[in-house]
Structure 1
Amino acid sequence: MNLNPVALKEWASAIDVLAGGDQIMLLRKGGIEEETQRFELKSHSFYLFPTYEHQRTHLVKDPYRASVERSLSEFDAGASHVKITAYAEAVDDLEVRDFEQLERLYPYHMWTGKLAEERLKWKAKEPLHVLLLKVYKLEKPAEIEMLPEYGGCRSWIELAVPPEDISLNPVLSEEAFEEKRRSIKFILGQ
């Protein structure tokens, strides 16, 4: 199966949590080097490309700290390849603009309230994007050559040589995903 060669860069620990089915959302504001200076959903389906630089255990809730520690222990800054383990479809791109809405999301994500609040405050005129993702695990992880153009603080990259012959397995059943999705949309009044 050939998939869209686009990838969304995200903390390796967040990808692990998504791939484990513990959460279905990402909170995005965009990277410092975004072309448009804000986050845009450039593709509705994409690989999840692991990043490590900004991960810190104190930025996630206690149950998720081991995931951050594990991903940081596996990180090799000089590695010539990166392992991709997940693919996602963005089912919803919801916008949060106030702290009350953000607080309602607290039970549905891995980040501390402080980090979530900082993301909302950064570029305050721009909304915080809440991406609800249907996540798929690659049956066999793909090793991608780490190219210089994949670096930098931006959200989206295009894989020069995307993985071939990929088999995907949904992380959650359709029913389990829809239950989580409905709960999140309900608390946001959507």
Structure 2
Amino acid sequence: MLRAGSKRPARMAIMLITTSNSIRVKPRLALYAFITGIDSGGEGGGRSRRLRWQAGCRCRQGLAFMMPSPCRGDAMLDLGLREWWAICQGLSQGAICAVARKGGIHEHRGGLFRLQHRRFALIPALEHQAPERLLPALRAHHPIPIPPPGQLLLSAWAEVRAHWLLRRREEVDQLAALPGIQGLSQQELHSRFTYRGEEWLSLVLLQASVWRQPPPLGDHPAYGGCRSWIPLQAPLPIADSAPVLPAQQLEQAQRTLSQHFGDSQDMPE
């Protein structure tokens, strides 16, 4: 590859790093690649540029942990995930780090949830939440506050870090017994597991980030209905936001969940 005006090719170094000689993970996940430098000099100025990029995952103790994709400060969100107010608050405050999903009557594919997007705003839903359907730690977020007229109570957005499909009842019981992961009661988890006569449950590990000053989000009829994914009428910036939980805590959560439920499913783009 030649830089414009230069006679010599840019130099590019790629390093493959693993932490163990016996790591057993999918090949595409066992890569931690750095393009550590593109050093190109011009004929006259002698100046050099160095570009750094990193992608892939970090392999630690046999576990592949998906690294977050770089977020530009001017990036925008054009989709939202509807979730109960109490669950949104739990994610925003770091009390939980995952959501258990099955779907609603207005979903595509016969009312069943599908993880379609990697990054989205958390849109609080005011319907159907009841204290008995929540874990005790999240019941303090009930009743639901009344938002200003024409506005939604927005506080956070999220990025998917991993997800699993639970297909056995004993897995649902295991999930219910894990502290600090999700916010639904054991009875509610089983109710969702058997919803529509299909026994499975989607568990999604999230990195939630909160805005220091949440952007305004006006309510709209298109945001209603029992469905998961909401195209936003106006995009939301992710600037001026910060992750709720440190990366190490999410890594530990993923290790715990992988021990119970196996490798993460393929990630959405």
Q: Same fold (TM over 0.5)?
A: yes
The answer to whether the 8 A contact 1:33-1:154 is kept is: yes
State whether residues 29 and 39 of structure 1, in contact with CA within 8 Å, keep that contact through their aligned partners in structure 2.
yes
1:75 counterpart residue number = 146
Q: Does the 8 Å contact 1:84/1:144 carry over to 2?
A: yes
Partner Cα separation in structure 1 for residue 212 and residue 96 of structure 2: 20
**Residue of structure 1 in register with 2:232 after alignment:** 159
Aligned-residue RMSD, C-alpha: 1.6
Give the Cα separation in 2 of the matches to 1:63 and 1:22: 8
Question: CA–CA distance in 2 between the matches of 1:3 and 1:124?
Answer: 38
Q: What do the CA deviations read for 1:58-85 (whole angstroms, capped 9, x no partner)?
A: 111222211123xx1x125x83011211
Query: Where does residue 120 of structure 1 map in the other structure?
Result: 193
Unaligned 5+ runs, structure 1: none
CA–CA distance in 1 between the matches of 2:234 and 2:86? 24
Which residue, 78, 83, 99 being the options, matches 1:10? 83
Query: Judging changes above 3 Å, is the alpha-carbon distance between structure 1 residues 173 and 165 closer, same or farther for their aligned structure 2 residues?
Result: closer
Gaps of 5+ in 2: 1-73, 264-269
Write out aligned runs for 1:80-159 (5 A): 80-106=150-176, 107=178, 108-125=181-198, 127-159=200-232
Please report how far the alpha carbon of residue 20 of structure 1 lies from its aligned counterpart in structure 2 after TM superposition: 1.2
Is 1:184 the equivalent of 2:254? no
1:22-77 per-position Cα deviation (integer Å, ceiling 9, x unaligned): 211101111110122221112111000001111111111222211123xx1x125x
Give the number of aligned pairs.
186
Match of 1:65 in 2: 139
Higher helix share: 1
> Are 2:194 and 2:200, in contact at CA under 8 Å, matched by a contact in 1?
no
TM-fit CA distance, 1:126: 5.6
- For residue 142 of structure 1, report the CA deviation from its aligned partner: 1.9
Corresponding residue for residue 113 of structure 2? 39
Query: Is the Cα contact below 8 Å between 2:165 and 2:200 reproduced in 1?
Result: yes
Match of 1:27 in 2: 100
Q: Structure 1 vs Structure 2: percent identity of aligned residues?
A: 27
* TM-score normalised by L of structure 1: 0.91
2:237 and 2:253 map into 1 onto residues whose CA distance is 31
Amino acid in structure 1 at the alignment position of 2:170: E
Q: TM-score, normalised by structure 2?
A: 0.66
Residues 48 and 87 in structure 1, CA contact (< 8 A), matched pair in contact too: yes
Task: Flag the structure with more relative contact order, 1 or 2, with Cα contacts below 8 A and sequence separation at least 6.
Answer: 1
Aligned position for 1:172 = 245
8 Å Cα contact 1:4-1:46 kept in structure 2: yes
Contact 1:103–1:113 under 8 Å retained in 2: yes
Q: Decide whether the 8 Å contact of 1:139 with 1:166 is kept in 2.
A: no
Deviation, structure 1 residue 124: 3.0
CA distance in 1, matches of 2:261, 2:185: 19
State the distance in 1 between where 2:235 and 2:130 align: 29
Structure with max Cα Rg? 2
Q: Determine helix, strand or coil for the equivalent of 2:227.
A: coil
